[in-house]
Amino acid sequence: MPQNSLEIEGRLCLASLATGDIAARPNPSLTRRSEPAIRARKTSQRTYPPPMLQINDLTFRIDGRALFEGASAQIADGWKVGLVGRNGTGKSTLLRIIREELNKGEAGDGSVRINRGAKMGYVLQEVPANDLTLLDVVLEADAERAGLMREADTCEDPDRIGEIHERLADIDAWSGEARAAEILVGLGFTQNDLSRACKEFSGGWRMRAALGGVLFAQPDLLMLDEPTNYLDLEGAAWLETYLRKYPHTVVIVSHDRDLLNRSVTHILALENTKLVLQAGGYDTYLQRRAERTQHLAAQKEKQDVQRAHMQSFIDRFKAKASKAAQAQSRMKMLEKMTVITVPLAERTIPFKFYEVEELASPILELDKVDMGYAPGKPVLDRVSLRLDFDDRIAIVGANGQGKTTLVKSIAQKLPLLQGVRRASKNLRIGYFSQDQLDELRAGESVLDHVRDLIPNATQAGVRALAAQFGFGAEKCETKVDKLSGGEKVRLLMGLTTYKKPHILILDEPTSHLDIDSREALIYALNEFNGALLIITHDTYLAEATADRLWLVNNGKANPYEGDLADYKALVLAADRPEENKQHAIARAELAAAAAKEEERSAKAEKPKSAPKMSFKQKHRIEQAEKDVEKARAALELLDRDLGDPDTFTHKADAEAKLKGRAKLQAQLDAAEAEWLEALEAAES
């Protein structure tokens, strides 16, 4: 390599799932050692092993824009490191630099060193659609094991056979199939899937298999770039647990806040072209970043005062012969002083959801509905669900169970195969799906898409609406195929919510959003006053926005009694090989919960045992509940006032408040009586 170019050193093993193998790529400029560098020297001076990964004074530019300038970091063996930063700052580029996949650009000074002898693994691309079974593809990902197993079948040298079997025992090769199966099941495949050919699966599922192969190979340095983007909530929960127990070094780019809090030991943040490494999870990093910024601001304030004082002295006395020497001295001090800079906070563009007029609940009911894509072949059958105006529901269930089928049917993107759908008059539904990103018209600008919403508006009006969606003057004329994934999500979200939907349905909205944008989305969703249905693999998002769950499982969709923590615990216990008795019990509990809900729904359908409540009865109960809450809140507020001793300093005011309290208590008693009477009438 020429001088002052990017230098990458070390003996690397790259996991390429495109071919299903791991190929060693030694650097020919380095002499080969007979022993790993981790072995301590015989001399007593050497006590610490070298870092697994060293990034030294790295500078890298693309099209003249600096992604890294003098960035440095050292990652020790066994650390689990979350690589974070805003979209477009260079996280994926850094992984490509480490993997020796430099893009065209200007590589400045710096070096990246991998520990000698270390094996590096990453998901290069999806498994090809070939005839190999999923299990075989994953087993082949561990090149050493696969090679030794093949050699053992053909070797005739007794001494070599002994060496092979000794090494196979060292790497625990005989448990390989069980370990590979556990990984694949954890990622969402069934036991029956393991013997199916790769060509029978979609690209997304083959990408999961590629991830499974890298995890099975257990490289010394595992690098993952947004692995949860092609996992469901169940798979993401399993991966989170797996990474915590992973025995080697991990560097993972992720915007999943829960994963970054629970599975990593350190955060490596890309901030203002520098790398900042600190121990702890993402929340700890945010806290320390705020403290660091506050400290820098205080230091800068002091320095500014000092600099102003020195400059004032120079300005006053530089022309005086008696003070000239002192003025010159202060000028030199001022020039040598390192200016403290406080990093500017990067602004996150907020999401905007319009307030909608309230509709009487229920706003939507499904009664014994079959859903699917072909008559007579329902994906979900006899679904009976109710949606109220203020419902916030997360839909859970493994991929392939029918979550998207459910929300498409609710949004009337799919016609019902059978059953009854009842909806409020003038009900509006907004439906967002990752698949709709492909419906944006390539070659047309943001303004072209926004103009579709308001065809009769002026150019200024169209630009104003685009600005509300987060696209200012510098972005609104950009062609949509030139937008980043996060920008496309923002545009589609704006187009979806412009017509003020009463029900907002979001199917995996966060795959292309960074952490700050996800926070902005959470804030907007919590401000939204309509009903929310959300499918997401981001547990943090689901817990922050939803208060109930619907479970889609085994062709059924029912309310799930429990929270996300309960559901994740059952999933993690159930996603293991069938022969484990405890896990089988957990799986049975999950099925029993769904069966219980189904039985409850079936009972509700029998007129004799549980007649259906009329709309007037439901409305009476809901109104009574609101009256009770309103009276109780007013009473609590008044009691706080009466608890203040100053209240009784004015006798007339105190008497008026005491009379008011008696009146409120009577209202509360009446509201509670009405509520009980309405319940009894409905039950009878």
Strands (E), 203-347: 221-225, 249-253, 266-271, 274-279
Can you give the three-state secondary structure of 34-47, one letter per residue?
CCCCCCCCCCCCCC
One-letter amino acid of 333: M
Across 391-405, average pLDDT: 89
pLDDT class of 581 with cuts at 50, 70, 90? very low
State the average pLDDT over residues 145-151: 86
- Sign of the Cα torsion 501, 502, 507, 508 reads positive
Domain chopping of the chain, boundaries: 7-29+49-272, 285-336, 371-427+502-604, 440-501, 615-683
Alpha helices in 85-202 (DSSP H): 91-98, 134-140, 143-154, 158-170, 176-186
In one-letter notation, the amino acid at residue 220 is D
Does residue 42 carry a pLDDT above 70? no
Write down the pLDDT at residue 430: 92
Percentage, residues of the chain above pLDDT 90:
15
Nearest-angstrom CA–CA distance, 142 and 180: 10
CATH architecture for the domain at 7-29+49-272? 3-Layer(aba) Sandwich (3.40)
CA atoms within 13 A on the CB side of 667: 17
- pLDDT at position 266, please? 93
Q: Mean pLDDT over residues 481-502, rounded? A: 87
Residue range 502-507: mean pLDDT, rounded = 93
Name the residue type at position 16. Answer: S
| Model pLDDT, residue 576 | 44
Segment 315-320 shows an average pLDDT of 71
Band (pLDDT 50/70/90 cuts) for residue 1 is very low
pLDDT score recorded for residue 206: 84
State residue 18's pLDDT score. 36
The whole-number pLDDT of residue 584 equals 43
Question: Does residue 353 surpass a pLDDT of 50?
Answer: yes
527 contacts: CB under 8 Å, gap ≥ 6: 353
pLDDT score at 227:
87
Pick the closest to residue 139 from 217, 37, 62 (CA basis): 217
| pLDDT > 50? residue 659 | yes
Instruction: Tell me the C-alpha distance between 486 and 491, whole Å.
Output: 9
pLDDT above 90: residue 268: yes
Q: Please state whether beta strands 548-553 and 392-396 pair in parallel, antiparallel, or not at all (unpaired).
A: parallel
**Which residues, including other chains, have CB under 8 Å from residue 658's CB and lie 6 or more apart?**
642
User: How many alpha carbons fall within 13 Å on the CB side of residue 669?
Assistant: 6
6-15, 454-463, 484-493 — which is least confidently predicted? 6-15
Q: Which residues of 611-650 are buried (b: 16+ CB within 10 A; e: fewer)?
A: eeeeeeebebbeebeebbeebeebbeebeeeeeeeeeeee
Which region among 32-36, 83-87, 429-433 has the lowest average model confidence (pLDDT)?
A: 32-36
**pLDDT-based confidence at 363, cuts 50/70/90?**
very high
Match 């650097």 to its residue by tokens: 27
Query: Is the pLDDT at 609 greater than 60, yes or no?
Result: no
> What are φ and ψ of residue 310, in 5° steps?
-65, -40
Answer whether 7-29+49-272 and 615-683 agree in fold: no
53-62 and 249-253 beta bridge pairing:
unpaired
Neighbours of 124 (CB within 10 A): 15
Q: Per this entry, what is the length of the chain? A: 684
Name the residue among 429, 425, 420, 412 with its Cα closest to residue 360: 425
The CA distance from 214 to 259, in Å, is: 19
pLDDT value of position 117: 81
* Angle (CA) 35 40 42, round 5°: 100
Does 586 have pLDDT greater than 90? no
Q: Which residue has the higher pLDDT, 582 or 245?
A: 245
Query: Which pLDDT score is estimated for 570?
Result: 76
Q: What is the pLDDT of residue 593?
A: 56
State how far the Cα of 238 lies from the Cα of 570, in Å rounded to an integer. Answer: 11
Average the pLDDT over each of 115-119, 559-563, 615-619 and give the range with the smallest value: 615-619
* Nearest residue to 181 (alpha-carbon basis) of 190, 173, 172, 169: 190
Our measurement of the distance from residue 112's CA atom to the centroid of its chain's CA atoms, rounded to an integer in Å, reads: 28
Query: 371-427+502-604 maps to which CATH number?
Result: 3.40.50.300
Query: Residue 36, preceding bond cis, omega within 30 degrees?
Result: no
Q: For 184-227, write each residue's pLDDT tens digit.
A: 888 888 888 888 888 888 777 888 888 998 899 889 999 998 88
pLDDT at 274 over 70: yes
What's the rounded mean pLDDT across residues 616-636?
A: 76
Structural tokens at position 87: 């979209």
Say if residues 112 and 97 touch (Cβ distance below 8 Å): yes
> What tens digit of pLDDT does each residue of 50-80 get?
788 999 988 888 767 788 888 899 999 889 9
Contacts made by residues 353-356, CB under 8 angstroms, sequence distance 24+? 353/497, 353/504, 353/524, 353/525, 353/527, 353/528, 354/497, 354/498, 354/500, 355/500, 355/529, 356/428, 356/500, 356/501, 356/502, 356/529, 356/530
AA identity, residue 95: L
Going by pLDDT thresholds of 50, 70 and 90, the confidence category of residue 486 is confident
Determine the pLDDT at residue 205.
84
HEC profile of 606-671: CCCCCCCCCHHHHHHHHHHHHHHHHHHHHHHHHHHHHCCHHHHHCHHHHHHHHHHHHHHHHHHHHH
Residue 371 is predicted with a pLDDT of 93
Residues with Cβ within 8 Å of 115's Cβ and at least 6 positions away in sequence, in order, are: 10, 37, 38, 50, 51, 52, 53, 77, 220, 221
Find out whether 409 and 550 touch, Cβ atoms under 8 Å.
Answer: no
List the structure tokens of 128.
Answer: 């090809």
Name the CATH architecture for the domain at 615-683: Orthogonal Bundle (1.10)
When mean pLDDT is compared across 251-265, 300-314, 341-355, the lowest value belongs to 341-355
The CA-atom distances, in angstroms, between 441 and each of 317, 447, 471, 669 are 67, 12, 17, 60
What mean pLDDT, rounded, does the chain reach? 78
Angle at 352 between CA 350 and CA 353, to 5 degrees: 145
Q: How many CB atoms lie within 10 A of CB 289?
A: 16
Give residue 439's region: left, alpha or beta (phi > 0; psi -120 to 50): alpha
Res 511: pLDDT: 81
Alpha helices in 470-528 (DSSP H): 485-497, 515-527
Rounded to a whole number of angstroms, the CA Rg of the chain reads 32
For 411-426, what is each residue's pLDDT tens digit?
999 999 999 999 998 8
For residue 125, pLDDT beyond 70: no
